[in-house]
Every structure is written in C-alpha cells, then in structure tokens.
Structure 1
Amino acid sequence: MAAQRQASSASQTPHISPAELSYLYTSLALPGSPIRPDGRSPTQFRPLTAETDILPGTNGSARVGFADGTQAIVGVKAEVEKTVVTADALKLPQQAKDDYAGNEDGDGNQGSSTGHGSWVQMSIEIPGFRDDDALPVFLSEMMREPLVESVSNGGSGNDEMAGGLKKRLVINKRWHWRLYIDVLLLSQPQSYPLPLLSLTTHLALLSTRLPKLKSKGEEDPFFDDDWGAAEYIYPRALKSKSHLSPSHQVRPPVTLLVISVGENVIFDPSREEIAVADTVLAVSVARDSDSDTLKLLSMRTIDPPSRLTQPGVANSENVATLGSTAAAEEAAILNPSTGEEEVPGVWRPRRGGVKRSTIARMVKLVLQKGGVGEEVLEGLEGVEVG
C-alpha cells in the first residue's frame, strides 16, 4: 500500500463550520448504523446514468453521470505500433525466446507476448486544473496502474482468459496496439472524482473494439476492413468456453473509494463525508480469471481534508465565554484512543494513523463473496454495450 499526499486535499474541501463538522462526524460514527446526509446505507452508491458508444471516430467510449450533475466522458483510441526488440533477442533460439518473455529492452518495450505498460497512455482533464497539476496526474497514474497489470489465471494454462489489458494489445512479436485513453470531467468535481472516472473508463474499455486480424504469425499485421467484424478487446462472451459464467471472464478493473469514520466503513462518500473521514482508501479490484473471486490489484491511501481542518474552540477555552454558565456546565470527555479531551459539539480532527484491523475490514467488504466489489462489477456488466 502506497500512501500518497494529495496537493488538492481530496479535491476541494467544502466550507463547513466546526459545529457542522462535529455533528456530521458524530452522525457518521454512530455504532452500527451511521446516518449519512443523503440517507444512503453505508454500502449504497449514488444513482447514476450510463451509456456507451457515444463518440464517433473512437474504438470505444462511455459517459457516466451522477445525480448531482457531475458527468465524465471517456474515449479510447488505438493505433498499430512497431515493437522495439533487441538484436540479441531476435538471435535467440525458440526456447530461449520463450524464456526471454517478460524482459524489457533498453527502450522500455518488450518483444514477447506479455505486453508492456507503456502501451497504455491515459490523460485526464478536470475543469480548473492544469494537465500537470497534482490531482489529474495522481488520478491518471492511480487508474492506469491496475489497468495494465495482469490478472493471474492460477496456472491453469487458460491463455484465452488470462492476462490484463497490456497482454491483449500484443499482435505478434514485432507489432502491438497502443491505446490512448482520454478522460474528461465535464464539470467541477462535487466530490472526489476517482470513482466516477474509474466506472466510466471501465465501460469505455468494455465497448472498445479492435479490427479483426487477418494476417497470421509474424507477418506484418493486416486487418479486416469490415468494422462489423471487429472484436471486443474484452469479449462479451467466450464462444469456446460457453459453459463458463460471465463472472469468470476477465474484465477491466474498477477503483472504489472507501472511508472510515470511527468504527464504521462507508462506500462512495460524498464531499461532505470525506471532509470528516478518519481515513480515505482507494481500492482497485478485478475478477480473477480462474475463479469466481475478486483480486486486489492496488490499494492507496489519500490524505483526508480533516487533517488540515482547524479544530473548534470550546467555550471553556474561549476568552469571550470564559466564566459563563455554558462554559461551566460544559463536560469534556477523554478520548481513549488519542488521550485528548473531546467536548460535545466541538470539532476535533483526528490525529495519528488508522488501525490495521480497520484497513483489513475495509478491504474485506470489497473482496468478499457477495460484497460491494461484486455488486459494482455485476451492475456494470448489466449496462448495454454495443
């Protein structure tokens, strides 16, 4: 798990008074049944609309919009590119070439069937941010990293179902596809935009098709001109493996945003909820190609804005109210985890780290059978593509 410090502090902290922050934190930290501002359950996602194949001239595209008006559009384009292979690799006998698979050359390319992460390029545009600002750069890399990683097939030898996106871009040892994924957020983010961008990218890749290859072996690539014969980069159904359920098919990963408030774990948080979160976790998952389970691809922590929020001032410490009846009746409570005094109704941002048991519980709720991760992937699978 890599901890990343976000320059934008989890994307635009809302202007909330210390009293409102304290009330919101208390509501979300209620044991067993947190009260969210919009009435959702802890694992319930915001309603959204989604559609695919909306951009002409692209290999795949999608649009996803949340009820608050925030929308994202993703377009995927592909071009054929020659793979750089070292001369030594070309002179190796066949068995040595197989052993060579997975080794990079000096230019960062590979002459093997494993593919290379540099073949996938992603750019994110967010209104009000420059391309080289911390937020778009951080989001781009956080989404690209799990996307290019392979999903193990558990050693079953099922090459048709194994491998991540980069392996699917291999044409032969001398040619490959290069993907350009352009992500556009259409409005100022009302909350941390990572889940919206991840879901939209997932659907865009599901709709991405590449021209059908007519050449064979190591010949220069030659493709079918009929776009109707183009093949999905992530097939909707496996013709030769029709007995397998859709859950066994490899799909693009999704990145979910999870927060903890007190002992409670909350999914798809709003901007107000992130403002009082004890910890914010971005969890990237994908289906394991050889089983009906989810695989954890990456996990990153994001600095919550609460760590940068100034604490409130209790009446007993305020010179303007010192000696008043309210100050005298104000009772302080000692927080056992921090050792600090907590005054009801006064905002005190959390200090220190988060328990390992809390992190483990957050990941478990995503990965477990019938958990949130499976619900999200099944919901995306139901979106009509093509």
Structure 2
Amino acid sequence: MAPPTTQQVLLSPAELSYLHTSLSLTPPIRPDGRTPSQFRPLIAETGILPGTNGSARICFADGTEAIVGIKAEMEKSRLGYQQSDEAESRDDDGEDTKRGSNDWLEVAVEVPGARDDDSTQIFLAAMLTEALLADREFTRRLWINRRFHWKIYVDILLLSQALSYPLPLLSLTTHLALLSTRLPKLKSELDEDPMFDDDWEASVYLYPRNSQGSYTRPPVTLLVMAVKDNIIFDPSKEELAVAEVVLAVSVGERAAGVASSMEIDSGKMRDLRLLAVRTIDPPSRLTPPGIPNTLNTATGGTAPTTEQAASQRETMHEEGVWQPPRGGAKRKLIAAMIQKVLEQGGVAEEVLDGLDAVELG
C-alpha cells in the first residue's frame, strides 16, 4: 500500500461528517461543485525548457503546478549470454527483433520541502515508472539496433506544495512531455554505428502521429476514490480526507491496428487496457473520530473509560457522527471503479482527448 496521500487535514469531526454525508448522496455534492467524473480545469503547454528533447508544464486551477523535462542519451547495449544468442534471430521481415529493457528509463521526482529519500517521492517515481514499463511498446521505441539504444531521463519538478495527491498531475505532465519528445533522425542502417541527421527539423517524435490521426500514446495514471457506492475522480484535498477507498489506476492504449476493423468510426475509438492498479492509504484513517451524545458528558451522556470508549467507537455508527473508515474495500466496488475508468466514452478517454488538444511545441 502506498504512503498517505496528503498531510493531515485540519478539519473537525463535524466538518468531516458534513463532507462525508454530502459525498454519499445520489448524486454526490462535491465541495467545488464538480460532477463525479469532472476534472479540475488546467493549463497545459509543451516545449518550455530549452536544451531538452521534450518538456511540458501543467497547472491546475487550485494552483498546483508541475514541470517535466526529458533528456535522451544514446547508450551501448549490454547483452548477456542468452541475449547474445537470441540477438541473431530474425523476424519474418528479416529485421532484428526489437527488445527493450527496464534500465532504459530513469524517473526522478522532486517535491519542494521533501528529502531526496522521502517515501512519497520514491513511490510517485515508482508508480510512473511502473506504468511506462508495463506498456512494453515504450521501451521498444528506444531501440536503435542490437548494439545501441536510447536511455530516457525523466525529471519531474512539483513547483508548488501539493494541495492534493500529486500523482495525476505528474502523470498528465509526463504524458505531454513524452508526446513532445523528439529524437534525432537515424541515417545509418542495421548494426552500423549510429549516425544521425544534424538537422533538428528532421527529427522524429518518440510517439509519431500518422496521417490518419491514430497513434499510440503514453499511459496515464488517474486517481479514483469512493465514498460508499459513489465513485469520484480527481479528488481534492478535502474529499480525500473522507475517502473510504482510493485507487491509482494506470491506463494505456493498445497499438494501432489491434482494435477491430469492423467499427464504422474506428478512428475515433480507443482500445484502452489496464496497466497497473495501486491502493492509496487515505488520510481519512488518521482523522479524529466524533463523540456521540451518549458518550459526551456535556450533553448528558456517560463518559466511559479509555478501553470502553475505544471498543464502542469502533462498533458505533450513529448518524451525523464521523467515524474514520476501517477495514478494506469490497471487490465489487474496486471492480466498478476500474470499469468506470476503462469504459467506452469514460473518464480515461475524455482525459486523453483533452490532452490531444494541446499543441506540441
């Protein structure tokens, strides 16, 4: 399980109970007035860092901002005994089989005010790396020939203090930075020493777009929470304070041509697939519980001993009294949260369509 999502939220038990009740309604009433599947407004731009192969910046409406810079470096591939034997194998077209390695990607996350070995930074980098490596298409794009490859360095900087869990912000910014990443055009052939075109205008995108407008995109990681049976996307700091279940869902897109060609409008359909799911420890488990009137001496109740109070609070569910969530989530609820992300015309498709509208610098 991942570390807690945010710092301790300074809300009273009465405020927590009010938020939990509002989010439990049908439909839920969110503090900022958004619908359950609506994301916060954002500003996005690419090509902002000179001297990088790709860069992007995203700023959410609440002021949280992140910048991602990507550098590519050519390295010589190290082949083991088994790999050296398999390297001679050819595919049906007579070309070397493209294989990738997890060592070809390095992700670093920097959060202001946090140590370099902070568990939150390490987990954020691991989640972003896991999603990219789970999509095997990414490492294959870094293959030059069986002797050389590209190594990608992804440096992520969170410019402002995170008001909510920053994983979706960092994932969307990394997605745009990878889309804008360009590599020098290769002029050599087969296993020759790589030679590249000096003209940067002739460089190629790491994720090129074809004339039909369909192309493979980097994966994205979305944050989903649930309060009772209500599924809410892109939760704010206050909403996470009363969340019962929080999931980080990584979604990728299958390579072009995998989807059925019988679709009339197949060019606009996305064949999404699940890459990774992580449970996030919500800060609601650390919030102070409310005291019901039966245990409050100020309202005529009886004050129990410490042991009695602890046992009674765990089993008491009184309307209007905040009780931190205990235990795990039902499998049916987790399956519904994942299905809500992957469904046709769902949130993941809306996010990818919105990112496609950003002009690549």
Note whether the superposition's TM-score is higher than 0.5.
yes
Q: Paired residue for 1:169?
A: 142
1:252–1:286 contact (8 Å) kept in structure 2 = yes
Please, which of 179, 191, 195 is the counterpart of residue 164 of structure 2?
191
Q: Paired residue for 2:45?
A: 51
2:5 is equivalent to residue 10 of structure 1: yes
1:1-386 to structure 2, matched below 5 A, reads 4-6=1-3, 9-30=4-25, 32-86=26-80, 89-90=83-84, 94-95=88-89, 113-150=98-135, 163-235=136-208, 237-238=209-210, 242-243=211-212, 245-246=213-214, 249-289=215-255, 290-291=258-259, 292-323=270-301, 340-386=315-361
Q: Secondary structure at the match of 1:359?
A: helix
Shift of residue 315 of structure 1? 1.8
Q: Deviations over 1:37-82 (max 9, x none)?
A: 0000000000000000000000000000011111000000001000
Q: Secondary structure at the match of 1:306?
A: helix
Residue range with higher mean Cα deviation, 79-88 or 259-268: 79-88
1:116–1:166 contact (8 Å) kept in structure 2 = yes
Structure 2: which amino acid aligns with 1:256? Answer: L
Distance 1:323 1:270 in 2: 36
Distance 1:206 1:186 in 2: 21
Q: Deviations over 1:130-174 (max 9, x none)?
A: 121110000000011111223xxxxxxxxxxxx521110000000
Structure 2: which amino acid aligns with 1:192? Answer: Y
Q: Does the C-alpha gap of structure 1 residues 73 and 88 become closer, same or farther in structure 2, counting only changes over 3 Å?
A: closer
Distance 1:268 1:352 in 2: 23
Q: How much is the aligned-residue C-alpha RMSD, in angstroms?
A: 2.0
Q: How does the TM-score come out when normalised to structure 1?
A: 0.83
Shift of residue 218 of structure 1? 0.1
Q: Does the C-alpha gap of structure 1 residues 90 and 317 become closer, same or farther in structure 2, counting only changes over 3 Å?
A: closer
Aligned residues: 336
Q: Does the C-alpha gap of structure 1 residues 210 and 365 become closer, same or farther in structure 2, counting only changes over 3 Å?
A: same
Q: Does the C-alpha gap of structure 1 residues 39 and 210 become closer, same or farther in structure 2, counting only changes over 3 Å?
A: same
1:215–1:221 contact (8 Å) kept in structure 2 = yes
Q: Does the C-alpha gap of structure 1 residues 49 and 91 become closer, same or farther in structure 2, counting only changes over 3 Å?
A: closer
Structure 2: which amino acid aligns with 1:39? Answer: G
1:14–1:275 contact (8 Å) kept in structure 2 = yes
Q: Does the C-alpha gap of structure 1 residues 73 and 92 become closer, same or farther in structure 2, counting only changes over 3 Å?
A: closer
2:176–2:355 contact (8 Å) kept in structure 1 = yes
Shift of residue 343 of structure 1? 2.2
Aligned residues with identical type, % of pairs: 57
Q: Does the C-alpha gap of structure 1 residues 210 and 41 become closer, same or farther in structure 2, counting only changes over 3 Å?
A: same
Show structure 1 runs of 5+ residues with no match. 99-110, 151-162, 325-337
Structure 2: which amino acid aligns with 1:340? Answer: T
Shift of residue 293 of structure 1? 1.7
Q: Secondary structure at the match of 1:364?
A: helix
1:256–1:284 contact (8 Å) kept in structure 2 = yes
Q: Does the C-alpha gap of structure 1 residues 224 and 323 become closer, same or farther in structure 2, counting only changes over 3 Å?
A: closer
Structure 1: which amino acid aligns with 2:281? Answer: D
1:13–1:271 contact (8 Å) kept in structure 2 = no
Distance 1:15 1:120 in 2: 39
Q: Paired residue for 1:104?
A: none
Distance 1:5 1:279 in 2: 12
Show structure 2 runs of 5+ residues with no match. 260-269, 303-312
Q: Does the C-alpha gap of structure 1 residues 117 and 265 become closer, same or farther in structure 2, counting only changes over 3 Å?
A: same
Residue range with higher mean Cα deviation, 289-298 or 252-261: 289-298
Distance 1:93 1:211 in 2: 25
Q: Does the C-alpha gap of structure 1 residues 92 and 52 become closer, same or farther in structure 2, counting only changes over 3 Å?
A: closer
Structure 2: which amino acid aligns with 1:212? Answer: K
